[in-house]
């Protein structure tokens, strides 16, 4: 696997997304430990992944703490889950601070490696991002990113403080206007982290044909394409299965010809 930087830290471009690991804690711990064994150095999580006594970040802590020195754990705030309110979106500085502190507690750390502000709606992110900058300045966060954003949101955040990543929905057959954001980020050494890259928009004849040609699964072709598409893309496929994890990691070694890439593009 090749590497790219999340700010001042280099990570393997094939990472791991923790959203799907809460169904079976024992399997989750096995998957997380195997991921690190296979070279994964970037894990994506959030405090609202899970419910009751099963939260993804707490499983990460159980599996991997004390954490390897080269492991970067990125989390996100904005959406939250509360026993009384249910699922909600943070709209105040106090709510964002509470979410950051929940992430710290679940992961068992004093400072979060990367925090992405995930937004909903069309409005400005400036005030909310500014509140996270204040928490960064307090020493609770090392580096910042944004998620579920348009290009103007990225520009708005950069006018306030540096960001190390943009995390948006993106797949070979579900691209929208994201290529412009990817190019913008690549020019500024900002990582682009797609979620949903495996599922895509549906069946694709081009993906299926390449899967047969490379003796691979369609999901592996989708993952490999994201890594080929731009050097600043960091993949974060998620799974609760060691076998699927190993398939995902193996996708990092697939190579496409220029003709095959042109077909997928």
Block residue for tokens 């299965």: 241
CA 191, 193, 82 angle in degrees (round to 5)? 120
Q: pLDDT value at position 201?
A: 53
Phi and psi at residue 165, to the nearest 5°: -160, 155
State the pLDDT at residue 122.
72
Q: For residue 82, what pLDDT is reported?
A: 82
Question: What pLDDT score was predicted for residue 120?
Answer: 86
DSSP classification of residue 238: B
Predicted pLDDT of residue 53: 77
CB 67 within 8 A of CB 36: no
Task: Give per-residue burial for 105-125: e unless 16+ CB within 10 Å, then b.
Answer: ebbebeebbbbbbbbeeeeeb
Environment class of 209 (CB within 10 Å of its CB; exposed 0-12, middle 13-18, buried 19+): middle
Between CA 190 and CA 154 the distance in angstroms is 11
In 3-state terms, what secondary structure has residue 211? helix
**Is residue 88 among the annotated active site residues?**
no
DSSP 68: P
Residue 167 pLDDT: 98
pLDDT of residue 203: 66
pLDDT along the chain (265 residues), means of 10: 90 96 95 98 96 90 97 97 86 96 98 96 90 98 97 97 97 92 98 89 81 95 95 96 96 94 91
Distance CA 173, CA 131 (A): 35
Q: In what helix (H) or strand (E) does residue 104 lie, and over which residues does it extend?
A: helix 93-107
Q: Per the residue annotation, which of 49, 67, 170, 192 is the catalytic one? A: 49
pLDDT at residue 202, rounded to an integer: 61
CATH architecture of 3-199+230-240: Alpha-Beta Barrel (3.20)
**Phi, psi at residue 256, to the nearest 5°?**
-110, 145
Q: What does the pLDDT read at residue 126?
A: 96
């Amino acid at each position: 696997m090749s590497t790219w930087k999340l700010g001042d830290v280099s990570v393997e471009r094939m990472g791991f997304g923790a959203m799907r690991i809460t169904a079976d804690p024992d399997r989750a711990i096995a998957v997380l430990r195997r991921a690190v064994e296979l070279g994964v150095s970037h894990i994506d999580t959030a405090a609202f992944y899970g419910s009751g006594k099963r939260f993804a970040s707490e499983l990460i802590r159980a599996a991997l703490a004390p954490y390897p020195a080269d492991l970067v754990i990125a989390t996100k705030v904005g959406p939250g889950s509360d026993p009384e309110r249910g699922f909600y979106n943070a709209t105040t500085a106090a709510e964002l601070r509470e979410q950051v502190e929940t992430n710290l507690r679940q992961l068992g750390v004093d400072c979060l490696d990367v925090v992405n502000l995930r937004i909903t709606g069309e409005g400005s992110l400036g005030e909310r991002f500014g509140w996270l900058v204040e928490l960064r300045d307090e020493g609770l966060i090392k580096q910042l990113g944004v998620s579920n954003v348009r290009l103007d949101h990225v520009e708005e955040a950069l006018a306030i403080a540096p960001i190390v990543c943009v995390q948006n929905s993106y797949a070979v057959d579900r691209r929208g206007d994201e290529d412009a954001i990817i190019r913008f980020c690549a020019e500024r050494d900002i990582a682009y982290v797609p979620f949903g890259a495996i599922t895509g928009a549906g069946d694709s004849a081009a993906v299926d044909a390449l899967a047969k040609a490379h003796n691979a699964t369609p999901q592996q072709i989708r993952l490999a394409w994201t890594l080929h598409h731009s050097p600043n893309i960091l993949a974060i496929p998620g799974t609760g299965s060691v076998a699927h994890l190993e398939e995902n990691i193996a996708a990092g070694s697939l190579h496409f010809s220029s003709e095959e890439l042109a077909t997928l593009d």
